[in-house]
């Protein structure tokens, strides 16, 4: 008689106790992303046939935002031609060179291919950065709202030095906030354009932050203390809005080179989140640690994608043409939202927004706390508001709490990566009706 392993698994009523006894304390305390939880509620409603305009996911629907054709075709050809083995753990030399050349060409920074470490998207490089510099209890400075940083704060058992964003500063950490936390920080994590807000640092805002970091590190150098590293996540840098120039630290304060790690990826710039190519630009004296982390975690990018990216990024005209199409698609959807929501605000409805500067996001405030819905339900929390918008207007958005900003501020993220213009128009119409009916 064959004995089925499945028959030895715990019954549902015993599973919770065994889970608790089995998992490490760290794993027991881990939380799944709240953004995913919100998104799965939307998918469940859609599966029941309910019309929902889904503005929750920080990803791209290929029907709206396809991966550039030239890149895709090249990737398939590379795979078919047998380019299917391991790559060096820090990436193939051709890709490292193409990235360094692109940064030189477009951002004016000249660090050379030896500073690039490639991985399977930006995330493994983010892990490598944390592993390279942080030990439990170290100060980790980051702003909220921001994408997933609160989870990393937990996973690396750091002492989070949280800078609470304010709408007046477009939710970006200000120099005053940074100066307050810097003396205790081992890493300062900044992201621009910022997910979830769609706002981006201007040079005059970022430069003082960089100067403060440089001054702090000079003091530490004199005392022989470990520097504070800047992790600058610029995965949305190619998606800045019209009239907005991407600001990045090394153009503003080149002396920060020994202390700066840039994160980037094709995930957002090529709408290729599932193809998994990202990179970090890391000073060469720190490369060894990054390569080891990527190698040991097996976090390298697939070879066909790396080969295709190396070829693609070295075609500036193709890159520019594809980017123009993608940016026009993002801007037209954001423009539609901005215009309609501003119209509602001007009509006296309780909504507000911060004009988008980059990325695929828009910060919107639904000032509905304490109000009653048409059916008499009182809205007390952001989650009440989210559910009201979902069920009464068929509009799905994510509260800033999912990005670590505590409190029922009324601020939400709208993402246009999956937004079909006709569905956005219909969703906004339902929103207007729902708000007018309150
Ligand atoms: C700001 C930011 N950084 C990094 C990532 C992760 O990028 P990747 O998918 O390349 O790991 C995301 C994904 O949403 C993001 O929004």
Angle between helices 316-346 and 421-436 (to 10 degrees): 20
For 2-15, the pLDDT digits (tens) are 789 999 999 999 99
Both 233 and 106 in a single domain? yes
Most ligand 1 atoms within 8 A of CB, residue of 268, 305, 361 to mutate = 268
Q: Tell me the average pLDDT across 272-286.
A: 97
Q: Tell me the average pLDDT across 178-202.
A: 98
Report the distance separating Cα 384 and Cα 401, nearest Å: 13
Asked if residue 346 is part of any domain, the answer here is: yes
Asked if residue 79 is part of any domain, the answer here is: no
Question: How many Å lie between the centroid of ligand 1 and the Cα of residue 33?
Answer: 13
Report the distance separating Cα 29 and Cα 23, nearest Å: 10
Question: How many Å lie between the centroid of ligand 1 and the Cα of residue 155?
Answer: 17
Among residues 267, 291, 315, which one ends one of the domains?
A: 315
Both 92 and 170 in a single domain? yes
Q: Tell me the average pLDDT across 259-269.
A: 98
Domain containing residue 228: CATH number = 3.40.640.10
Among residues 315, 333, 356, which one ends one of the domains?
A: 315
Asked if residue 412 is part of any domain, the answer here is: yes
Both 172 and 243 in a single domain? yes
Q: Tell me the average pLDDT across 301-306.
A: 98
Instruction: Measure the CA angle with vertex 115, ends 73 and 129; round to 5°.
Output: 95
Instruction: Measure the CA angle with vertex 155, ends 153 and 159; round to 5°.
Output: 35
Both 169 and 248 in a single domain? yes
Task: Enumerate residues 6+ apart whose C-beta is below 8 A from 398.
Answer: 34, 35, 38, 56, 196, 386, 412, 413, 415
Asked if residue 71 is part of any domain, the answer here is: no
Hey, what are 257's tokens?
């080179």
Domain containing residue 33: CATH number = 3.90.1150.10
Look at the chain and report how many structural domains it folds into: 2
What is the structure's pLDDT at 152?
A: 94
Question: How many Å lie between the centroid of ligand 1 and the Cα of residue 343?
Answer: 32
What is the structure's pLDDT at 247?
A: 97
| Nearest-CA residue for atom 13 of ligand 1 | 58
Both 183 and 293 in a single domain? yes
Alpha helix ranges (H) inside 224-277: 249-252, 266-269
Most ligand 1 atoms within 8 A of CB, residue of 122, 152, 191, 198 to mutate = 122
Query: Do residues 341 and 364 make contact, with C-beta atoms less than 8 angstroms apart?
Result: yes
Both 247 and 226 in a single domain? yes
Both 355 and 296 in a single domain? no
Query: Do residues 412 and 398 make contact, with C-beta atoms less than 8 angstroms apart?
Result: yes
Average pLDDT value over all residues in the chain: 96
Range in 23-37, 257-271, 281-295 with the lowest mean pLDDT: 23-37
Compute, in degrees rounded to 10, the torsion defined by CA atoms 239, 416, 61, 297: 60
Beta bridge partners of 353: 364
For 22-81, the pLDDT digits (tens) are 999 999 999 888 888 888 889 899 899 999 999 998 899 999 999 999 999 999 999 999
Both 179 and 115 in a single domain? yes
H/E stretch holding 255: none
Hey, what are 60's tokens?
């791209």
Both 133 and 202 in a single domain? yes
Task: Enumerate residues 6+ apart whose C-beta is below 8 A from 222.
Answer: none
Q: Which of 300, 389, 296 is nearest to 350 (CA)?
A: 389
Entry pTM:
0.96
Report the distance separating Cα 418 and Cα 69, nearest Å: 19
Both 166 and 33 in a single domain? no
- Which atom number of ligand 1 is nearest to the Cα of residue 277? 10
Query: Do residues 300 and 120 make contact, with C-beta atoms less than 8 angstroms apart?
Result: yes
Asked if residue 145 is part of any domain, the answer here is: yes
Q: Tell me the average pLDDT across 301-314.
A: 98
Among residues 315, 347, 380, which one ends one of the domains?
A: 315
Alpha helix ranges (H) inside 356-397: 382-393
Hey, what are 378's tokens?
């009182």
Question: How many Å lie between the centroid of ligand 1 and the Cα of residue 39?
Answer: 17
Question: How many Å lie between the centroid of ligand 1 and the Cα of residue 105?
Answer: 23
Question: How many Å lie between the centroid of ligand 1 and the Cα of residue 316?
Answer: 24
Hey, what are 174's tokens?
């200000």
Report the distance separating Cα 32 and Cα 381, nearest Å: 21
Question: How many Å lie between the centroid of ligand 1 and the Cα of residue 348?
Answer: 36
Domain coverage including residue 398: 20-65+322-436
Both 345 and 276 in a single domain? no
What is the structure's pLDDT at 35?
A: 83
Helix, coil or strand: residue 372: strand
Asked if residue 5 is part of any domain, the answer here is: no
Both 156 and 236 in a single domain? yes
Which protein residues are within 6 Å of ligand 1, measured from CB? 58, 121-123, 147, 191, 195, 233, 235, 265, 267, 273, 278
Q: How far is CA 343 from CA 238, 338, 356, 392, 432, in A?
A: 29, 8, 16, 20, 10
Query: Do residues 171 and 145 make contact, with C-beta atoms less than 8 angstroms apart?
Result: yes
- Which atom number of ligand 1 is nearest to the Cα of residue 265? 10
Asked if residue 122 is part of any domain, the answer here is: yes
Asked if residue 124 is part of any domain, the answer here is: yes
Q: Which of 233, 177, 163, 164 is nearest to 205 (CA)?
A: 177
Alpha helix ranges (H) inside 110-202: 122-133, 149-155, 175-181
What is the structure's pLDDT at 157?
A: 94
What is the structure's pLDDT at 1?
A: 67
């Amino acid at each position: 008689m064959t004995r089925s392993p499945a028959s030895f698994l715990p019954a549902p009523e015993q599973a919770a106790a065994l889970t608790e006894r089995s998992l490490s304390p760290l794993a027991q305390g881990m939380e799944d992303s709240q953004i995913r939880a919100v998104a799965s509620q939307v998918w469940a409603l859609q599966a029941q046939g309910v019309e929902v305009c889904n503005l929750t996911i920080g990803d791209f629907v290929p029907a709206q935002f396809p991966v550039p054709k030239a890149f895709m075709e090249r990737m398939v050809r590379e795979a078919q031609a047998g380019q299917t083995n391991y790559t060096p753990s820090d990436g193939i030399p051709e890709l490292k060179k193409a990235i360094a050349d692109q940064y030189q060409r477009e951002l004016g920074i000249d660090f050379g291919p030896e500073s690039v470490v490639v991985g399977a998207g930006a995330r493994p490089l983010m892990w490598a950065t944390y592993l390279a510099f942080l030990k439990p209890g170290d100060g980790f400075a980051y702003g909220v709202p921001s994408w997933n940083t609160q989870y990393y704060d937990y996973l690396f058992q750091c002492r989070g030095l949280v800078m609470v964003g304010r709408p007046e500063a477009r939710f970006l950490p200000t120099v005053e906030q940074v100066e307050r936390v810097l003396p205790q920080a081992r890493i300062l994590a900044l992201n621009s354009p910022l997910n979830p807000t769609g706002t981006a640092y201007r040079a005059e805002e970022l430069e003082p932050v960089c100067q403060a970091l440089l001054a702090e590190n000079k003091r530490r150098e004199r005392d022989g203390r470990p520097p504070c590293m800047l992790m600058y996540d610029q995965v949305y840098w190619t998606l800045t809005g019209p009239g907005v120039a991407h600001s990045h630290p090394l153009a503003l304060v080149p002396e920060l080179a020994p202390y700066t790690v840039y994160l980037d990826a094709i995930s957002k710039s090529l709408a290729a989140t599932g193809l998994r190519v990202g990179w970090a630009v890391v000073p060469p004296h720190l490369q060894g640690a990054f390569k080891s982390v990527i190698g040991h975690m097996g976090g390298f990018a697939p070879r066909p994608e790396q080969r295709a990216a190396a070829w693609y990024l070295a075609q500036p005209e193709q890159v520019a043409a594809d980017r123009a199409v993608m940016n026009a698609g993002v801007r037209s959807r954001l423009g539609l939202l901005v215009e309609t929501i501003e119209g509602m605000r001007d009509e006296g409805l309780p909504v507000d927004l911060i004009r988008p500067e980059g990325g695929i996001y828009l910060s919107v405030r639904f000032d509905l706390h304490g109000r009653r819905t048409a059916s008499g339900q009182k809205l007390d929390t952001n989650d009440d508001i989210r559910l009201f918008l979902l069920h009464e207007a068929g509009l799905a958005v994510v509260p800033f709490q999912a990005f670590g900003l505590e409190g029922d501020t009324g601020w939400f993220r709208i993402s246009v990566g999956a937004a079909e213009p006709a569905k956005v128009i219909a969703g906004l119409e339902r929103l207007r009706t729902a708000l007018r009916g309150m």
